[in-house]
């Protein structure tokens, strides 16, 4: 049996920097080719093959994929919601063209068996049911990031139905991690708050204190991604993108939780343009199809997550 060879695009990013390590453990370091447009951390660069690669350059991409006989692609590179609002057309071009490059290559190159591409809760908008948002909902996203993710989902399903491409996707909620910061997202406050609590004992939050959004700790997000990708294709009923929930929290929840560990921690709320984005996204997500089809089962709740975040960031700050 031929061994899988995996290409990760965006290996230096928030998800990529952790998913690369997990995939190398599972498949063997030599089988997992990490790539990014920028340099990745030492553990990624030294822990297996790493190359600078621009997903927008379809010729280089196809050359790389054929030369290394890639069988699975994880395409994680994207401009996130906040940054996308600053340069909407550029963000649309990057987020859409990169996905279309991958889907076209998957259609043309026989040895590509599976593709993973992340969608987001940003596909929903202000007219969507906010609480326990169903898999099938009204979808009128108001951000360019959300519009591109929704269009991307439609393309994924199109390539699946029309060409039989096995492309899989989840709608990630806000992801919380200590290793690599996200950069430019709306849910990023929930990462920044931990760093600032430890460094400054103060955080100025750009989201209102009572705006709820769903969040997931990175270890659960990685587990979910691996689980979905390992599931036999015939068990999957969704070929656009699966809802995955997590735990719904407001900035005040994070603040109160951190304060238990750092009593002197203070917060001010000074909402900026990202407040309108946050307000347009769901409070909580109905993910019963993910649980049924491929056993989605997140574990890390806020209390536990706060302990891990504070412990790990403290360690990093000492280095």
Contact status: 152 vs ligand SER (CB under 6 A) = no
| Sites for ligand SER among residues 75-114 (CB under 6 A) | 80-81
Hey, what are 217's tokens?
């700790």
User: What's the per-residue H, E or C state across 94-108?
Assistant: HHHHHHHHHHHHHHH
User: In degrees rounded to 5, what are phi and psi of residue 213?
Assistant: -140, 160
User: In degrees rounded to 5, what are phi and psi of residue 187?
Assistant: -85, 0
- Minimum Å distance from CB 132 to ligand SER? 19
Contact predicate 102/75, CB 8 Å: yes
Taking CB positions, which residue lies at the least distance from ligand SER?
A: 185
Q: Which of 27, 74, 145, 203 does the annotation list as catalytic?
A: 145
Distance CA 134, CA 152 (A): 19
Residue 24: CB partners within 8 Å, gap ≥ 6?
Answer: 31, 32, 47, 48
Q: Which of 71, 72, 98, 187 contacts ligand SER by CB under 6 A? A: 187
Distance CA 63, CA 46 (A): 23
Instruction: Name the H helices within 169-262.
Output: 189-199, 218-230, 251-259
- Point out which span in 130-138, 179-187, 197-205, 287-295 binds ligand SER (CB under 6 A): 179-187
Q: Which of 64, 74, 124, 172 contacts ligand SER by CB under 6 A? A: 172
Q: Which of 174, 214, 245, 298 contacts ligand SER by CB under 6 A? A: 174
First to last CA, the chain: 43
- Point out which span in 51-59, 161-169, 182-190, 262-270 binds ligand SER (CB under 6 A): 182-190
Size of the chain in residues: 319
296 catalytic? Reply is no
- Minimum Å distance from CB 298 to ligand SER? 16
- Minimum Å distance from CB 173 to ligand SER? 7
Contact status: 250 vs ligand SER (CB under 6 A) = no
Contact status: 280 vs ligand SER (CB under 6 A) = no
Q: Which of 185, 214, 245, 251 contacts ligand SER by CB under 6 A? A: 185
- What is the binding site for ligand SER (CB under 6 A)? 80-81, 120, 122, 145, 172, 174, 185-187
Active site residues: 145
């Amino acid at each position: 049996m031929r061994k899988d060879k995996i290409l990760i695009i965006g290996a230096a990013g928030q998800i990529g920097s952790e998913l690369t390590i997990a995939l190398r453990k599972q498949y063997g370091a030599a089988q997992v080719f990490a790539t990014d447009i920028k340099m990745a951390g030492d553990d990624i660069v030294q822990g297996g093959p790493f190359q600078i690669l621009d997903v927008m350059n379809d010729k280089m991409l196809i050359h790389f994929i054929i030369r290394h006989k890639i069988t699975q692609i994880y395409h994680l590179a994207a401009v996130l919601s906040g940054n996308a609002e600053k340069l909407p057309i550029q963000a649309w071009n990057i987020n859409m063209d990169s996905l279309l490059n991958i889907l076209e290559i998957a259609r043309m190159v026989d040895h590509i068996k599976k593709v993973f591409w992340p969608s987001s809760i940003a596909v929903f908008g202000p007219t969507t049911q906010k609480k326990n948002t169903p898999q099938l909902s009204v979808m009128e996203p108001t951000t360019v990031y959300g519009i591109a993710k929704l269009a991307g989902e439609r393309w994924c399903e199109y390539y699946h139905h029309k060409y039989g491409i096995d492309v899989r996707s989840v709608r990630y909620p806000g992801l919380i991690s200590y290793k690599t910061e996200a950069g430019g997202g709306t849910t990023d406050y929930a990462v920044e708050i931990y760093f600032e609590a430890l460094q400054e004992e103060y955080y100025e939050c750009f989201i209102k204190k009572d705006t709820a959004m769903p969040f997931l700790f990175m270890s659960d997000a990685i587990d979910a991604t691996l689980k979905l990708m390992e599931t036999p294709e015939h068990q999957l009923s969704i070929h656009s993108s699966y809802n995955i929930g997590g735990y719904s929290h407001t900035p005040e929840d994070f603040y109160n939780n951190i304060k238990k560990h750092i009593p002197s921690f203070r917060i001010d709320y000074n909402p900026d343009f990202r407040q309108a984005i946050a307000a347009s996204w769901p409070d909580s997500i109905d993910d019963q199809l993910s649980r049924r089809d491929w056993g989605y089962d997140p574990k890390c709740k806020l209390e536990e997550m706060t302990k891990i975040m504070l412990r790990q960031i403290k360690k990093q700050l000492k280095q």
